[in-house]
């Protein structure tokens, strides 16, 4: 597994064995293509961070910093190794916590972009989206999900195989949810 674009392109990422499902390179490219115009100097949070591949990819492509939230011990070990290997220093903070209580403590827009890739088949994605609808903790919420997953609202989506990435947005000045058409891209 490696970083696919930006300043760190081609560099390898540490990946743990076991129950961690790292985001495939092709799917990370889908994430970044949807977010590319929003990444420059962005404040990012990578929920369910795993190895940190998504957050590191965002920093590689211009994000200012990333907070990584993960609570699986094997993933935390790989995440810390990756943050150290890329010498992210003050550009990265690691929170050894469950993502749901983490976002439930946020009471205002804290991030420009929130990345959420919870385990497929869990209800964690519903809980993250519901919290974002109650208290938009990021201007843009990007989520990975099964392509046939019933989302509660429309966003900008792209599909790759059985997976899809959808970005929901709010207007930071008004707090209103963006009326983004649901574009579907297939490969």
The pLDDT, as a whole number, for residue 140 is 95
Cα(168)–Cα(132) distance, rounded to whole angstroms? 10
More confident residue, 64 or 26: 64
**Would you say 72 and 1 are in contact if contact means Cβ atoms under 8 Å apart?**
no
CATH 3.40.50.150 assigned to domain 6-169? The reply is yes
The structure's pTM equals 0.89
The yes-or-no verdict on residue 26 having pLDDT over 70 is: yes
* Distance from C-alpha of 163 to C-alpha of 184, rounded to nearest angstrom: 12
pLDDT at 19: 60
Per-residue pLDDT reduced to its tens digit, 29-86: 999 999 999 999 999 999 999 999 999 999 999 999 999 999 999 999 999 999 999 9
| Top-ranked range on mean pLDDT: pick from 7-21, 111-125, 164-178 | 111-125
Segment 122-127 mean pLDDT? 92
Q: Is the pLDDT of residue 180 over 80?
A: no
pLDDT band at 150 (very low <50, low <70, confident <90, very high): confident
Residue range 94-99: mean pLDDT, rounded: 97
Percent above pLDDT 70 for the chain:
88
3-state secondary structure of 162: coil
C-alpha distances (whole Å) from 90 to each of 59, 65, 84, 108, 119 are 12, 8, 11, 22, 28
Based on its alpha-carbon atoms, the radius of gyration of the chain, rounded to whole angstroms, reads 15
pLDDT at 109: 85
pLDDT of residue 33: 94
């Amino acid at each position: 597994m490696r970083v696919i674009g930006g300043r760190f392109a081609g560099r390898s990422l540490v990946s743990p064995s076991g129950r961690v499902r790292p985001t495939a390179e092709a799917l990370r490219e889908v994430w970044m293509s949807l977010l590319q115009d929003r990444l420059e100097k962005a404040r990012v949070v990578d929920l369910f961070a795993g190895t940190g591949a998504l957050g590191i990819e965002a920093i590689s492509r211009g994000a200012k910093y990333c907070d990584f939230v993960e609570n699986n011990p094997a993933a935390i070990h790989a995440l810390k190794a990756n943050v150290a290997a890329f010498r992210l220093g003050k550009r990265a903070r690691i929170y050894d916590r469950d993502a749901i209580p983490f976002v439930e403590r946020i009471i205002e827009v804290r991030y420009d972009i929130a990345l959420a890739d919870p385990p497929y088949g869990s209800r964690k994605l519903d809980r993250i989206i519901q919290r974002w609808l109650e208290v938009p903790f990021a201007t843009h919420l990007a989520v990975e999900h099964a392509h046939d997953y019933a989302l509660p609202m429309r966003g900008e989506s792209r599909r790759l195989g059985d997976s899809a990435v959808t970005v929901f947005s709010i207007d930071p000045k008004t707090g209103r949810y963006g009326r983004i058409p649901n574009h579907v891209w297939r490969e």
